[in-house]
Structure 1
């Protein structure tokens, strides 16, 4: 056959038809692979925003029972797992708990059987779990990734199984100015992961481990796209002590119902019964001002000795204001992608209120940061009417996008030269959802100098561990804004505290009793109406006095606080809280020590945590059922997806989501057809030119 332009055209048409057929077959195969699998009744599915595939959700429901008594809350969290597939599975669930929680127990419930946990050194617990998994035994492992992020692994969930995992912890509650705030976190906000080198995966998350965040894949659970079918839900029940009968209750985050119980307690629960876990549960209790005690003492006897552990909350009297010193205010605002939506609205409102509170003798500066940072002015400006008006316009134009490179921006501020005669304050407004907390803590210890740093945690699921720890290292305070409605009140409290004199060089002496292992060892500076929480052990005596000395500016300050153990309130969780506080003290020393000194501190933490049955960075809880249910030892690992926090925007956090594999197919097919059409058009014109030449 002659190789003419007409033949080429016909061959191109046939070739294009073949390409379309191949692509269509590929699409059908991919749709079958990525479409919803055949599942049984009661199954939950979600579509991964990363892979676009439908996957079964092994976690059906979470239930939290919270008992609030005085300065502590005892909590039982029940996670209900099920396997609706035809194969044994291992469920991996990365979830949040309060950063001050002392987690001390885990149980597996399978029908009428209960499997209790033991605490082990972390790597040893992992080996016990992996051995049970490979032997085909049901097992559960609870690990701490951060003080506010934990991983539960449940192995050999057999087809048709329903397994309940019960976790128990106790957490301290802070009363400030007659207010107590209880936060039960429901979702791990997607973390920004900095770093220059990727190091593979150590967990089941969407991010790779990096040189800056070596465990990034362990703190970045897969994210369920908000438009796909809901995953598991959560219910919450809170019982308030009878001593709070007259307190004003307000739930900042959710609608709740309240019931009065016969014993005088108040019971609170979600109005909807259950909800999607996409924002923190925030409950605020306001007691009448006259009912706030000057001191509150809680005790619990140690199980293995005659000693008694205590928690003492002391509220020093208000110090009379001294002459106001001019301030140098640095406002550092997070405008990264995770702040898009309601979070940036809250941050803008808070910053505008901060500008309104500046005095005529103050100076101020604003720095916004995301993937990089930008300043309103290179140097702090006087708080004149003109400068403040320009600053308000600047704040109104702030937009959220990009990464969360907090460390370079913070270092830039900390290294600025100070102005003689001014007190420097740095106020950080952020959701704190990043993974390199330890790098930030180290930089603050080395570079903050005499400045004070205050944190304002913004949004529906902020990283409260980062915010509170930065405030601790910065000798400042921590403020939590969970809703636009409380911006004004919370920021007013913050600036009232900054304006009031601070008690520094706080020291304690005890009279009438002998005490040991008192924490915190380095007492913090005290702000207006801020309580001093002291944990310790009473080794001898029952009543006595606590003498507190400090300095308010250049003026000596002294007060005496009487206490009597016979009039104290007993709470069984105080020993566990004391043990957790001791872990925190040792962890701070571990952070400040070089590698040579860390080994001994780590060993001390492990021994202490095993004695008091605590989950820490170096110890885990593991439970194994000594029955082989899966002789092959093979099971499919499934990571439980987390919700996108309320108010967040998916495309600002992870980019354009892969909501379906057909999109890529149609893009490739369209490109192929377009290219083929261009070739056909060229050949057709070429053929017409040849024919015209032949006629002439």
Structure 2
């Protein structure tokens, strides 16, 4: 039963019955209240353990329990002290609750409830505060993690007890989820969207500044709950002052007012559309077994788009990693037609066949490589993000943060927010999360835009306040700001503040090699809200900075500072834990407690899911016909066949053989249902070939078009291109205007096809079109208008010449990415 930890011998369900979530959004900050109801239906006392995910940037600030109508509010202690008091409480017959953050990853928490008496119920309330991130379409993203994947643990690393987790298929999760969102904003709410089914949005005010929305009943726990909020004029910069507590130590963070400064740079069109030819682009692709299915197919398509979008003159390399790693080239190479074609052949051959997820090794190798003069290094990391050594990776990225930028992509449900957001934050880049219905290519191209566009660098923030007031920065210094990126900074305000006093903040930075200065005035009078959400986010920011320094320096005094700040602010840290003790009968437990682990969902239900299995074998191991139990008898999940020496503790799950057939045909896996033995390795290989063949047959025509573009930006007449256009060679050549070069004509037609038939994907192929446009202008064609008209007749489309960027002005921003011109006008920040 220890290996299972879910169901008693009498098939009694685990104690957790329901999860109820209330989200209050105020502007760009969300306060999340989660209530978990436990019921012990067994005949013995139970210690229930629930390992669950939270966003890495969340500031957990409240933990309480209600037993028999009596509420007990938890206090923050050092982790060792809290664990000792928890064990003491259990041994003396008291009901105790312990909440602690994982030692290795700040986005995993462990809740222990013990000893819950037989037939007793308990309600646990957890509150955290979090900033809402800004998406590329200007929506504010809130994500409630509902899927927790077991983290791959490198062979040289001990598995932390906090990260051990029991995983079941989503349909077998025995508790329910309800979620309600209450939005209050000075800006009007225009709409709310979600990847899950929502009830109708209800506006509570006529100006739409207050609204409510709820998750529809019956959430299946097969995906994280993502909600996108859209405000009108969402990018207005703000400086909000929040009052502190009067009954705390004078001069402490919680007693003084705290300022939250929100910055959002607006780049003018000429800056936003100017792209350089310099740069070293390194693409690090997860090829571990967990990428099997649609994720690795999408990864191949994405690498194709990236290769075709790079400008001539840059350098690049591609790495695949799993239990080990390998690179396409011994070192980064110049982007030419030859190197691009060589890389494309290797991209077509990549598979999810490299075992585990050893991200630290390839990163160390990349950082050890010599940096190229005048070519800033940009690292793009693609992973499903399930690793156990998150903090080691973040420390490494931070150590090299001055020599590169890191853009990250979390693929699939349950990707570690600590890893994906942490690497981008420490590396001065952007983090993107790609769920099952998102197009990976779209978000990758958005990040490539950031990498190619000029960014705001050398950022300094200066405050102007009265002489008897001082300001202490709590957030780390900003390294870089991209177009479309919001930055939030926290500062502590000390001294005497009288009503009506004004302050100012001056932000200076360099944009396109030119200095820019902007100033924002604001009131120093604190807002009336006493929720302390800004204080707790500021405390979490400072705690994470101190934790990082402690790991770098091993300075024990920093650990004490973290503990003191965590206790003072009531915000969680890796060195502290929440403890609540409810005094029961005071009698020691007569019978031994039964330990039960509350399950979390994985994503194995999704066909071709990006998260799981580590191999096809692992999936078939758990989705087996009950009659196959004799074959599996005596095996535990730690003995299940996995790749890369991976070992997970899982709950045995029974499915009918029809489930297996629905996911993978018997022909694909080569498995005989009547046989007691089958070759799992050959079955897996057959499935991979079947998957590749299927991918080739269904290949998108526009990806075929893109694959045929030359590195300089043009197309040439060939059979594959004719198939995309649906034309014969005779039809194409007959329509060609006189005295127009064949390559120019074909390239113009390709541009018309993209604009006419793939407009919805324009964000993905915009760099490809820019390269083509620049190449056409370099040919100095005199009758481009005639070419466009003839191309529209040929393809039966109505694309305008100006839409293609084929005007006569070579200084047009659309042509600038590969001509290297500089903007003449500066942008404003506020």
2:181 corresponds to: 238
1:308 corresponds to: 257
Separation in structure 2 between the aligned mates of residue 229 and residue 140 of structure 1, nearest angstrom: 26
Cα offset, 1:345, TM superposition: 4.0
Does the Cα contact within 8 Å between 1:156 and 1:629 map onto a contact in 2? no
Separation in structure 2 between the aligned mates of residue 292 and residue 516 of structure 1, nearest angstrom: 25
Q: Aligned runs of 1:558-637 on 2, under 5 Å?
A: 558-566=517-525, 570=529, 572=531, 573-594=533-554, 597=555, 599-628=556-585, 631-632=588-589, 634-637=592-595
Unaligned segments of structure 2, at least 5 residues: 636-675, 677-830
Shift of the 533–666 alpha-carbon distance from structure 1 to 2, 3 Å rule, reads: closer
- Of the three residues 469, 491, 496, the one matched with 1:536 is 491
Residues 1:352 and 2:296 aligned together: no
Does the Cα contact within 8 Å between 1:544 and 1:564 map onto a contact in 2? yes
Q: Given the two structures, how large is their TM-score scaled by the length of structure 1? A: 0.80
Does the Cα contact within 8 Å between 1:429 and 1:456 map onto a contact in 2? yes
- The alignment partner of 2:449 has SS state of helix
Q: Aligned runs of 1:55-134 on 2, under 5 Å?
A: 57-134=14-91
Separation in structure 2 between the aligned mates of residue 397 and residue 380 of structure 1, nearest angstrom: 20
Deviations 1:338-357 (A, max 9, x none): 22234334433433332332
Deviations 1:379-409 (A, max 9, x none): 3344344544553453343322410111111
- Of the three residues 184, 199, 202, the one matched with 1:260 is 202
2:238 corresponds to: 295
Separation in structure 1 between the aligned mates of residue 457 and residue 267 of structure 2, nearest angstrom: 14
Separation in structure 2 between the aligned mates of residue 504 and residue 654 of structure 1, nearest angstrom: 48
Residues 1:411 and 2:364 aligned together: yes
Does the Cα contact within 8 Å between 1:125 and 1:621 map onto a contact in 2? yes
2:638 corresponds to: none
Give the number of equivalent residue pairs. Answer: 598
- Larger mean Cα displacement after TM superposition, 486-495 or 565-574: 565-574
- The alignment partner of 2:199 has SS state of strand
1:21 corresponds to: none
Deviations 1:606-660 (A, max 9, x none): 1111111122111111111111276335311111222223523346289364667
- Larger mean Cα displacement after TM superposition, 137-146 or 542-551: 542-551
- Larger mean Cα displacement after TM superposition, 340-349 or 69-78: 340-349
1:270 corresponds to: 215
- The alignment partner of 1:649 has SS state of coil
Separation in structure 1 between the aligned mates of residue 614 and residue 315 of structure 2, nearest angstrom: 37
Residues 1:38 and 2:38 aligned together: no
Separation in structure 1 between the aligned mates of residue 121 and residue 176 of structure 2, nearest angstrom: 16
1:4 corresponds to: none
Does the Cα contact within 8 Å between 2:32 and 2:128 map onto a contact in 1? yes
1:369 corresponds to: 321
- The alignment partner of 2:446 has SS state of helix
Separation in structure 2 between the aligned mates of residue 498 and residue 195 of structure 1, nearest angstrom: 34
Cα offset, 1:457, TM superposition: 1.5
1:662 corresponds to: 630
- Larger strand fraction of residues: 1
Q: Aligned runs of 1:8-47 on 2, under 5 Å?
A: 37-39=9-11, 43-44=12-13
Separation in structure 1 between the aligned mates of residue 95 and residue 527 of structure 2, nearest angstrom: 44
Shift of the 79–34 alpha-carbon distance from structure 1 to 2, 3 Å rule, reads: closer
1:187 corresponds to: 147
Separation in structure 1 between the aligned mates of residue 613 and residue 276 of structure 2, nearest angstrom: 46
- Larger mean Cα displacement after TM superposition, 342-351 or 181-190: 342-351
- Larger mean Cα displacement after TM superposition, 261-270 or 314-323: 314-323
1:318 corresponds to: 267
Residues 1:219 and 2:191 aligned together: no
2:125 corresponds to: 166
Shift of the 651–366 alpha-carbon distance from structure 1 to 2, 3 Å rule, reads: closer
Deviations 1:184-210 (A, max 9, x none): 1112211110033xxxxxxxxxxxxxx
Shift of the 438–147 alpha-carbon distance from structure 1 to 2, 3 Å rule, reads: closer
Residues 1:248 and 2:201 aligned together: no
- The alignment partner of 1:190 has SS state of coil
Cα offset, 1:528, TM superposition: 1.6
Separation in structure 1 between the aligned mates of residue 238 and residue 244 of structure 2, nearest angstrom: 20
Shift of the 254–397 alpha-carbon distance from structure 1 to 2, 3 Å rule, reads: farther
